[in-house]
Amino acid sequence: MSGKYLDKEFNFDKAVKNPYAKELKQQITIKISPSTIEYFKQESVETGIPYQTLINMYLDECVREKRKLKIEWV
């Protein structure tokens, strides 16, 4: 289709920038233990929320609450 079609059918003169663009997620690679993945997958079955979303929600909560890790070296 030509640009004329787009110009005729869609008017972007009043378009605004996506206000949520700053909040888009960034894809990364991370190593997570199988037991942790299984835990979130089971939670996913119970809640109906994808397990990766649950992991993200938990990490977001940690950030909001400024939760600190309790690390004990044995």
Instruction: Enumerate the domain spans of the chain.
Output: 24-66
Determine the Cα–Cα distance for residues 57 and 63; give it in Å rounded to an integer.
10
- For residue 51, give every residue at least 6 positions away whose Cβ sits within 8 Å of its Cβ, in sequence order, or none: 37, 40, 41, 43, 44
pLDDT digits (tens, 9 = 90+) for 23-62: 788 889 999 999 999 999 999 999 999 999 999 999 999 9
pLDDT at 33: 97
